[in-house]
């Protein structure tokens, strides 16, 4: 039997320390500035590209780590640095995962490199699924894709929202309805190449947190793309739709749609992001509690503070272990029979919200000001329970998986 261990090997430790150094030396010093500016930190992304941290090769190496820990380890360290800047660095990854999950080998080889560009001309990509009236309820999606057989083109129309890098991306991956009759099973993903007429940026959102990450609407007005831009190809789509129609008649098993396949693959990674933010806030609170004097002694001497820190660290470690388990299960092909991916995302996200709130409390009035980073970390942590499936949706997925009942 293979040896079981929670210990990272020497190569993994070297990568972790390298990323941590970049987060400490480059990301953290710039975090407050880009949070205030609410702009994409292109210089930081370029610095990451120059050292190979923002590149297809690096993320491919981590994605194919046989232990499954490469991606969560990367996410934790980057988001320990700052959530907004880190999301600007890794946001392209969601679009890349969308192509990996649904595309052909040719599509993967053609489009993913264009998502990153090169160190002298960095690019970003966007995954566009949510809509103004269809967030968690993907069955209500209205963006349509109609096939023009005479020209072998797909024509897309609709509005996407909450898109990371939306409108500024070199490559957009868009989920659209191709067959409304089978609900969410009638969705497909499309590549929108750079410079395609009809795609434009709509509203750019001013956000509560992760302000250094660009979030905007993407408007699709009669956007035409070649048939080759349908991820997976038309033959595969036709087969999938035929099965969906048949199962809709017979009440057979449910099929995953294109958006859900992407989100399922990325949930443990989001959990790792949350762990990084929680760990950062905990470390600030711990250092503060050791040095802050009240009534003639450090405040950590008080059980009320010390016990909070103990609980914070316990939750962080538990969240990390859940993320690692789900990541290991995913890479080794073990099914999420108990919705372990959703469990990891749910617990880590709620942990980030709770731990950052406790950090603010431990710092007291200082924690409420922008002079200390926990205020920003607390704002950033709110997103983890919202994007890529709210905590309520994760609970629904878990409950349905455990019970076998279509709980609503």
Residues 111 and 134 in one domain: no
Residues 271 and 391 in one domain: yes
Write out pLDDT tens, residues 17-29: 999 999 999 999 9
Output the CA–CA distances (angstroms, integers) from residue 286 to 136, 302, 309, 315, in the order listed. Answer: 37, 13, 7, 15
pLDDT at 212: 97
Tell me: do 45 and 136 sit in the same domain.
no
Check whether residue 133 and residue 111 sit in a common domain. Answer: no
> Looking at the chain, how many residues does it have?
408
**Residue corresponding to tokens 């949930």:** 267
Same-domain pairing of 156 and 77: no
pLDDT for res 394: 94
Is 66 found in the same domain as 31? Answer: yes
- Selection from 185, 159, 194, 296 nearest residue 242 by Cα: 185
pLDDT at 219: 98
Does 408 map to a domain?
A: no
Q: What is the mean pLDDT of residues 94-108?
A: 93
Could you tell me if residue 4 is inside a domain? Answer: no
Position 64 in a domain = yes
Q: What is the CATH number of the domain that holds 68?
A: 1.10.540.10
Q: Are residues 300 and 382 in the same domain?
A: yes
Q: What is the pLDDT of residue 59?
A: 92
Shared domain for 263 and 387, answered yes or no, is yes
If you average pLDDT over every residue of the chain, what do you get?
Answer: 93
* pLDDT of residue 256 exceeding 70: no
- Residue where a domain terminates, one of 227, 250, 273: 250
Instruction: Quote the number of domains for the chain.
Output: 3
H/E segment holding residue 293: strand 293-294
Is 285 within the bounds of a domain? yes
In this structure, the answer to whether residues 118 and 133 fall within a common structural domain is no
Q: Annotated catalytic sites, by residue? A: 388
Examine residue 1 and state whether it is found in any structural domain, yes or no: no
Report pLDDT for 407. 85
Q: What is the pLDDT of residue 358?
A: 98
Q: What is the pLDDT of residue 291?
A: 96
Residue 250's pLDDT band, with cuts at 50, 70 and 90, is: low
End-to-end CA separation in angstroms for the chain: 42
Residue 257 confidence (pLDDT): 53
As given in the structure block, the two tokens for residue 147 are 């096939």
Q: 263 falls in which pLDDT band (50, 70, 90)? A: low
Nearest to 300 by CA among 228, 362, 229: 362
Asked if the model's pLDDT at residue 201 lies above 50, the reply is yes
Question: At residue 120, does pLDDT exceed 80?
Answer: yes
* 220, 199 Cβ separation under 8 angstroms: yes
pLDDT at position 297 over 80: yes
97/210 Cα distance (integer angstroms): 21
Q: How confident is the model at residue 5 (pLDDT cuts 50, 70, 90)?
A: confident
CATH number for position 373: 1.20.140.10
Q: Residue 96 domain-assigned?
A: yes
| H or E element, residue 225 | strand 215-226
pLDDT at 101: 86
CA dist 28 → 18, 79, 263, 374 (Å): 15, 10, 28, 12
Lowest average pLDDT, out of 77-81, 125-129, 137-141, 256-260, goes to 256-260
The per-residue pLDDT for 244 is 84
Tell me, what's the pLDDT at 253? 47
- The secondary element (H helix, E strand) that includes residue 226 is strand 215-226
Residue 93: per-residue pLDDT? 92
Q: How sure is the predictor about 402, in pLDDT bands with cuts at 50, 70 and 90?
A: very high
- Same domain? 264 vs 399: yes
Banded model confidence at residue 306, pLDDT cuts 50, 70, 90: very high
The C-alpha angle 232, 273, 384, rounded to 5 degrees, equals 85
Residues 344, 383 share a domain: yes
Q: pLDDT grade, residue 140 (50/70/90)?
A: confident
Q: Is residue 77 part of a domain?
A: yes
End position of a domain, from candidates 105, 122, 139: 122
The boundaries of the domain holding residue 228 are 125-250
The predicted structure's pLDDT at residue 133? 83
Portion of the chain with pLDDT greater than 90, in percent: 83
Of 226, 229, 267, the closest CA to residue 103 belongs to 229
Strand positions, DSSP E, 51-170 = 117-118, 121-122, 125-128, 144-148, 153-164
Question: Is residue 8 pLDDT above 70, yes or no?
Answer: yes
Lowest mean pLDDT among 132-141, 269-278, 324-333, 334-343: 132-141
Residue at which a domain ends, from 66, 99, 122 = 122
Share above pLDDT 70 across residues of the chain, in percent, rounded to a whole number: 93
């Amino acid at each position: 039997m293979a040896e079981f261990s929670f210990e990272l090997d020497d190569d993994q430790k070297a990568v972790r320390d390298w990323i941590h150094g970049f987060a400490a030396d480059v990301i953290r010093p710039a975090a407050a500035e880009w949070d205030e500016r609410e702009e994409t930190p292109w210089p930081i992304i370029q610095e990451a590209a120059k050292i190979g941290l923002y590149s297809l090769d690096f993320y491919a190496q981590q994605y194919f780590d046989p232990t499954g820990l490469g991606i969560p380890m990367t996410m934790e360290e980057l988001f320990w640095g700052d959530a907004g800047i880190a999301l600007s660095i890794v946001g392209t990854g969601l679009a890349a995962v969308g192509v990996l999950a649904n595309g052909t080998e040719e599509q993967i080889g053609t489009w993913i490199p264009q998502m990153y560009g090169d160190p002298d001309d960095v690019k970003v990509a966007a995954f566009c699924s949510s809509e103004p009236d269809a967030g968690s309820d993907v069955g209500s999606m209205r963006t349509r894709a109609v096939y023009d057989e005479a020209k072998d083109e797909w024509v897309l129309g609709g509005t996407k929202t909450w898109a990371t890098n939306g409108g500024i991306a070199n490559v957009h991956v868009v989920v659209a309805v191709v067959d409304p009759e089978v609900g969410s099973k009638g969705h497909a993903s499309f590549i929108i190449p750079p410079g395609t007429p009809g795609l434009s940026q709509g509203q750019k959102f001013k956000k509560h947190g992760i302000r250094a990450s660009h979030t905007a609407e993407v408007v699709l007005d009669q956007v035409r793309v070649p048939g080759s831009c349908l991820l997976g190809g038309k033959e595969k789509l036709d087969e999938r739709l035929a099965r969906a129609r048949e199962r809709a008649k017979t009440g057979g098993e449910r099929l995953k749609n294109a958006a859900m396949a992407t989100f399922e693959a990325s949930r443990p990674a989001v959990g790792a992001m949350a762990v990084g933010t929680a760990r950062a806030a905990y470390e600030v609170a711990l250092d503060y509690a050791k040095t802050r004097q009240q009534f003639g002694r450090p405040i950590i001497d008080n059980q009320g503070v010390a016990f909070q820190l103990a609980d914070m660290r316990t939750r962080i470690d538990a969240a990390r272990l859940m993320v690692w388990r789900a990541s290991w299960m995913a890479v080794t092909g073990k099914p999420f029979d108990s919705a372990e991916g959703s469990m990891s995302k749910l617990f880590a996200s709620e942990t980030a919200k709770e731990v950052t709130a406790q950090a603010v409390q431990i710092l007291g009035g200082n924690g409420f000001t922008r002079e200390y980073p926990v205020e920003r970390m607390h704002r950033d942590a709110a997103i983890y329970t919202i994007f890529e499936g709210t905590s309520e949706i994760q609970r629904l997925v878990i409950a349905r998986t455990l019970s076998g009942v279509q709980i609503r």
